[in-house]
Amino acid sequence: MTEAAPGTGFESHVVEVRAHGRYLLRPALGAAAGILVGFHGYMESAEPHLDALATIPGSASWNAVAVDALHAFYARSSGSGRVVRGWLTSDLRSEAIADNVRYIGGVLDAVRARCGWRLPVVLLGFSQGASMAWRAAVLAGHEIAALAALAGDVPPELAELPAPTPFPRRALIARGADDNWYDAAKLDADRARLAGRGIELEALVFPGGHEWSDGFRGAVSRLLAEVAAQAERDATATR
């Protein structure tokens, strides 16, 4: 690909390269009900996100996965030299989306091969990770039973995909009432984007800001229980 750079005296070229990413897996206690895959927010990483997944009631019976975003950088503002990550910037955005979708598809391949292909998969994303969770659910080539998105929007380009494009059967979209980034207008826009996709949709507004809350954890806990129950019914019907 060549990008025009008028008046600069040079050409801009893009080269596709191989990269490596990392995910963390916390196996379920006992027989697994499913696979819960989480996507952290901007300037976060997989380790604290995996801990956040563990605060969801009932999540111990699920194989929990936290995916590290590919782009790593130092959180210099903290003074600690801590490595944090982000999913996208405005630079080479379409290429980065394709790279991330391919990467997440590989993560799902590896996790499902290890944990079991028949287990239902639920994706959960926070903030910037919510948008990536939606892209993964729709574009990564895996059947997703449900998705929970906290404080992050549905990517507008997904709304332009043709109607037969598979979306998750269930979805939870949530925001804090005082969240000035993922505000009420964005939540309403997401509901409009998802209309007509055949999704069993729950929209949650809880007291608080751009953050996790007990209300959100409880809603995700109920969603996981519903997905597990549906998977058991489906398995019984095929026996």
Query: What are the pLDDT digits (tens) for 159-199?
Result: 889 877 889 999 999 999 999 999 999 999 999 999 989 99
Specify if 5 maps to a domain: no
Distance, CA of 27 to chain centre: 19
Output the pLDDT for position 151.
98
Range of the domain at 72: 19-237
Phi and psi of 19, rounded to 5°? -130, 165
- Whole-prediction pTM: 0.93
- CATH number where 212 lies: 3.40.50.1820
Specify if 9 maps to a domain: no
Specify if 82 maps to a domain: yes
Specify if 157 maps to a domain: yes
- How many structural domains is the chain composed of? 1
| Three-state secondary structure call for residue 36 | strand
pLDDT tier, 5 (very low <50, low <70, confident <90, very high otherwise):
low
Whether the per-residue pLDDT at 157 is higher than 60: the answer is yes
Specify if 3 maps to a domain: no
Query: How many of the other CB atoms lie within 10 Å of CB of 106?
Result: 13
Query: How many of the other CB atoms lie within 10 Å of CB of 234?
Result: 12
Specify if 230 maps to a domain: yes
Looking at the chain, the whole-number percentage of residues with pLDDT higher than 90 is: 81
Output the pLDDT for position 75.
86
Contacts 24+ apart (CB under 8 A), 82-87: 83/45, 84/43, 84/44, 84/45, 85/40, 85/43, 85/44, 85/45, 86/42, 86/43, 86/128, 87/39, 87/42, 87/128, 87/129, 87/131, 87/132
Specify if 26 maps to a domain: yes
Looking at the chain, the whole-number percentage of residues with pLDDT higher than 70 is: 95
Q: Please give the angle made by the CA atoms of 166, 169 and 173, to the nearest 5 degrees.
A: 105
Query: What are the pLDDT digits (tens) for 10-67?
Result: 888 999 889 999 999 999 999 999 999 999 999 999 999 999 999 999 999 999 999 9
- Amino acid making up residue 214: D
CA distance 104 to 236: 30
